[in-house]
Amino acid sequence: MKRKRGEFIGAFAPYGYEKNPLDHHHLVVDEEAACVVRMVFHWFVCDEISQIKIAQRLNDLGILNPTAYKQSKGHKYQNSCREFGSSYWHPSVIKRILENPMYIGNMVQGRQRVKSFKCQVVEVMSKEDWIIVENTHKAVVDRATFYKVQSLLARDTRTAPGKLMLYTFSGFLRCADCKRAMHRKSDGKYTYYICRTYTELSKQACTRHSIREEKLKDAVFAILKLHIRAIPDTTEIISAIQSPSAKTTNNSAEVLLKSRQRKLRRIQSYQKSLYEDWKNGGISEEEYQHFKQQYADEMEQTEFGIKQLKTERQSCEDIQEKECRQLDFFKQHLELDEINRDILSELIDVIYIEEGGDLTVRFKFSDPFIQ
């Protein structure tokens, strides 16, 4: 029940947070560790650095990993997954940080469980069984950055040995026919992409679908400039891009939410009066139990309604935030002078390479001004 109410029940707060001294079920930001978390997200999104290189950079800077940091604060913290039994960072720790919704203010619990008190084997729960309550504590990372990271993590973003930066098109390219990722190769003079099915499985399974990297960059750059410069006057964009239905739904949800909250307060008042009536002999034991159960059922139903309305309101706010963010992004890049992974991850879903070197770009948006 505490988990469902969004109360933290773990023994130790996640890295970047600490328990509120006045309420151990509530998390507050540990600014020292939170700064490291923000750096990890910034390096991954803006500097296009791989998880391996982020871990190496933190180690080079002498920053303690989460386990060692908590122990340095005097906590008797032990982690069975602690890599190498040292204070060094490992790419798997970076990945767990980048994937953790706790950093956008959502309480996520129930990801693991012990099978029984007799057998202390930890079982990893499926994501569908997690208990998630939104907006229970202050966010360390903004939602736009977090969801951009999730989009990038879903792609194949491996780097070549000895490389610090992720390749610009890593995870974005697919063969137009077999839909597998493209393989990056270099012969010393030119760098080009070839269908992975063709190079790894069989030359009869697919064709080369080869394209030189310079041609690819020029083509994608031209397509992006064409779409971005096709945007008309900003005032026209604002009226078209902002969703009136989302605003209306949000306002309706807010009105209903306040109504449900007032109803909940009335039920709580009735419960208190009911107990006093019973103690004073105004009603019988049987009547007390009957009305007590009735109020309990109403309260449970009302609380569930409040939770659903809060979810609906947050969904509307997320839509409006996404629309405003997209508008701001376009305004910032009206004069595009280069392409990078930040721009690609914001605008492009996938790039299909056709046999012969032609390409098809599938954008993340569908807007009458930028198709």
The average pLDDT across 48-74 equals 84
Band (365; pLDDT cuts 50, 70, 90): low
Give the Cα separation of 55 and 94 in Å (integer): 7
User: Whole-number mean pLDDT of the chain?
Assistant: 77
Say if residues 48 and 341 touch (Cβ distance below 8 Å). Answer: yes
Query: What single string gives the DSSP state of each residue in 295-322?
Result: HHHHHHHHHHHHHHHHHHHHHHHHHHHH
How much is the pLDDT for 367?
Answer: 43
pLDDT tens profile 247-288: 545 565 676 677 778 888 888 888 888 888 888 888 888 888
Q: What is the pLDDT of residues 313-346, one digit of tens each?
A: 676 666 556 556 555 655 565 566 677 777 777 7
pLDDT tens figures, 84-101: 456 788 888 999 999 999
Q: Say how far apart CA 371 and CA 369 lie, in whole Å.
A: 6
Instruction: Determine the 3-state secondary structure of 28 from DSSP.
Output: strand
**pTM for the structure as a whole:** 0.52
Q: Where are the domains of the chain?
A: 17-109+135-153, 173-231+335-363, 237-332
Rounded mean pLDDT, 218-234? 71
Q: Residue 80: pLDDT above 60? A: no
* Average pLDDT of span 203-218: 86
* Cα Rg of the chain (Å, integer): 27
What's the mean pLDDT in 13-31? 90
Highest mean pLDDT among 60-64, 80-84, 109-113: 60-64
Owner of token pair 């490389």? 163
Q: Does domain 17-109+135-153 have CATH number 3.10.20.740?
A: no
Evaluate whether the domain defined by 237-332 bears CATH number 1.10.287.
yes
pLDDT at 321: 62
- pLDDT of amino acid 285: 84
